[in-house]
């Protein structure tokens, strides 16, 4: 089950100047590409070199399929696919405006302003996150957290 | 780089009414088996290694991403968690109830993001309008 740390933080409300409190998730660490292979080795019975090659092949294969217009579903993980953001650049206002049209004849791919790779986790993962348990963290590597201000004492 | 399949999507706009937008759709969904085949073709690894890598990815995800770590997967991207929260008036009231939703964020590697900028589009399919909310 997902178990997430949070810390309390505060900010000033721009309108009233009053202090408002909220929480943020604690980012424990960044596990880089090398460390991912080391961690995965613990639960795997293949050697380091093969596992590293396998990860690289996995990433490459997903990229190949997705950039050629397919979606890729990994069982127990989720789905990778391309999505797009629409908009038309308005030179006069120097802003993006809606690419929505009344007639099909006016719709063109010029209205696609960006293409992005998206990941949607599978239902099991989404449910696990929705039922995550939380614990408060008051000490970080950089000191105590106190409403957003870090003390180094 | 391939050509992406495009279509026209209908959406409701603020204030009522509907407008038409260009959209991209997938040619087909690739499942585990086809993905494993491609991994073996592209890099010469055997099936056991390919399956183990896919299983290891799931394991790392469950053990680390879901417990708050940011994980970089080689040649794929970075997974992390983010939370949408609300604020409260007093520090004592701040807690897990402030968390409205948690999302898994995925940032692809820079080469993929760059490649996505130079994709081509097929011509729009005029008679294929999808209704969307």
Continuous segment of H or E residues that includes residue B12: strand B3-12
Q: What is the pTM of this model?
A: 0.84
Question: According to the model, what pLDDT value does residue A140 have?
Answer: 57
Does the beta-carbon distance from B87 to A98 stay under 8 Å?
Answer: no
Question: According to the model, what pLDDT value does residue B15 have?
Answer: 82
- Residue of B31, B85, B116 with shortest CB distance to A23: B85
- Residue of A45, A54, A86 with shortest CB distance to B22: A86
Q: Which residue has the higher pLDDT, B132 or B33?
A: B33
Return the top range by mean pLDDT from A24-38, A114-128, A135-149.
Answer: A114-128
Q: Categorize the per-residue pLDDT at B107 as very low, low, confident or very high, splitting at 50, 70 and 90.
A: very high
Distance CA B39, CA A132 (A): 33
Distance CA A31, CA B119 (A): 31
The answer on pLDDT for A26 being more than 50 is: yes
Distance CA A128, CA B66 (A): 8
* Mean pLDDT of the B76-92 span: 92
Beta carbons within 10 angstroms of residue A37's beta carbon: 23
A14 and chain B in contact, CB less than 8 A: no
Does the beta-carbon distance from A36 to B45 stay under 8 Å?
Answer: no
Using alpha carbons, list the distances in angstroms from residue B56 to A58, A77, B2, B13, B50. 11, 11, 29, 43, 10
Question: According to the model, what pLDDT value does residue A7 have?
Answer: 87
Closest-CA residue of chain B to A124: B62
Using alpha carbons, list the distances in angstroms from residue B80 to A79, A142, B83, B107, B110. 16, 21, 10, 9, 16
Domain count, chain B: 1
Helix (H, G, I), strand (E, B) or coil at A64: helix
Beta carbons within 10 angstroms of residue A153's beta carbon: 4
Does the beta-carbon distance from B39 to A61 stay under 8 Å?
Answer: yes
Question: According to the model, what pLDDT value does residue A139 have?
Answer: 67
Query: Is residue B8 included in any domain, yes or no?
Result: no
How distant is the Cα of B15 from the closest Cα of chain A, in angstroms?
A: 14
* Pair type for strands B18-25 and A30-31: unpaired
Query: Is residue B37 included in any domain, yes or no?
Result: yes
8 Å CB contact between A124 and A117 = no
Quick one: A94 exposed, middle or buried, by C-beta within 10 A (0-12, 13-18, 19+)? exposed
Query: Is residue B101 included in any domain, yes or no?
Result: no
Residues of B in contact with A100 (CB under 8 A): 11, 13, 19-21
Does the beta-carbon distance from A115 to B104 stay under 8 Å?
Answer: no
A60 and chain B in contact, CB less than 8 A: yes
A122 and chain B in contact, CB less than 8 A: no
Beta carbons within 10 angstroms of residue A130's beta carbon: 10
Nearest to B88 by CA among A10, A106, A27: A10
Question: According to the model, what pLDDT value does residue A14 have?
Answer: 82
pLDDT tens-digit map of B42-52: 888 999 999 99
Cβ-based contacts under 8 A for chains A and B: 306
pLDDT tens-digit map of A64-108: 999 999 999 999 999 999 999 999 999 999 999 888 898 888 888
8 Å CB contact between B10 and B131 = yes
- Residue of A24, A61, A102 with shortest CB distance to B38: A61
In this prediction the ipTM stands at: 0.86
Query: Is residue B13 included in any domain, yes or no?
Result: no
Using alpha carbons, list the distances in angstroms from residue B33 to A45, A62, B124. 21, 13, 31
Query: Is residue B49 included in any domain, yes or no?
Result: yes
pLDDT tens-digit map of B34-74: 999 999 998 889 999 999 999 989 988 888 999 889 999 88
* Pair type for strands B77-85 and A88-90: unpaired
Nearest to B1 by CA among B107, B108, B116: B116
Query: Is residue B36 included in any domain, yes or no?
Result: yes
Continuous segment of H or E residues that includes residue A60: helix A48-67
Query: Is residue B42 included in any domain, yes or no?
Result: yes
8 Å CB contact between B7 and B23 = yes
pLDDT tens-digit map of B5-30: 888 889 888 888 889 999 998 889 99
pLDDT-above-90 percentage for chain A: 36
Question: According to the model, what pLDDT value does residue A152 have?
Answer: 35
How distant is the Cα of B3 from the closest Cα of chain A, in angstroms?
A: 6
- Residue of B24, B63, B109 with shortest CB distance to A115: B24
Question: According to the model, what pLDDT value does residue B42 have?
Answer: 87
The answer on pLDDT for A148 being more than 50 is: no
Question: According to the model, what pLDDT value does residue A104 have?
Answer: 85
Question: According to the model, what pLDDT value does residue A144 have?
Answer: 52
Q: Show the domain range for B44.
A: 31-63
Q: Categorize the per-residue pLDDT at A125 as very low, low, confident or very high, splitting at 50, 70 and 90.
A: very high
Question: According to the model, what pLDDT value does residue A121 have?
Answer: 94
Residues of B in contact with A2 (CB under 8 A): 66-67
Query: Is residue B17 included in any domain, yes or no?
Result: no
Distance CA B17, CA A39 (A): 52
Helix (H, G, I), strand (E, B) or coil at A81: strand
Q: Categorize the per-residue pLDDT at A38 as very low, low, confident or very high, splitting at 50, 70 and 90.
A: confident
Does the beta-carbon distance from A71 to B29 stay under 8 Å?
Answer: yes
């Amino acid at each position: 089950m997902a178990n997430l740390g949070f810390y309390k933080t505060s900010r000033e409300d721009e309108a009233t100047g009053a202090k408002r409190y909220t929480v943020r998730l604690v980012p424990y660490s960044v596990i880089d590409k090398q460390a991912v292979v080391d961690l995965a080795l613990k639960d795997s019975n293949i050697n380091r070199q093969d596992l590293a090659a396998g990860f690289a092949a996995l990433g490459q294969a997903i990229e190949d399929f997705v950039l050629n217009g397919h979606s890729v579903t990994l069982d127990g993980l989720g789905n990778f696919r391309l999505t797009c953001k629409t908009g038309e650049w308005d030179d006069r206002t120097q802003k993006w405006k809606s690419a929505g049209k009344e007639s099909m004849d006016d719709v063109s791919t010029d209205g696609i302003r960006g293409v992005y790779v998206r990941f949607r986790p599978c239902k099991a993962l989404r449910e696990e996150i929705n039922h995550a348990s939380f614990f408060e963290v008051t000490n970080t590597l950089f000191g105590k957290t106190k409403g957003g201000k870090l003390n180094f004492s | 780089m391939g050509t992406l399949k495009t279509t026209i999507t209908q959406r409701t706009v603020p204030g009522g009414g509907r407008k038409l937008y260009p959209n991209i759709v997938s040619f087909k969904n690739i499942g585990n088996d086809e993905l494993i085949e491609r991994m073996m073709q592209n890099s010469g690894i055997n099936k056991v290694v390919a399956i183990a890598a896919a299983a290891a990815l799931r394991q790392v995800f469950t053990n680390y991403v879901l417990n708050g770590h940011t994980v970089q997967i080689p040649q794929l991207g970075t997974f992390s968690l983010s939370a949408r929260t609300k604020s409260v008036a007093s520090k004592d009231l701040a807690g897990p109830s402030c968390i409205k939703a948690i999302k898994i964020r995925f940032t692809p590697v820079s080469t993929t993001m760059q490649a996505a900028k130079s994709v081509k589009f097929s011509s729009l399919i005029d008679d294929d309008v999808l209704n969307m909310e």
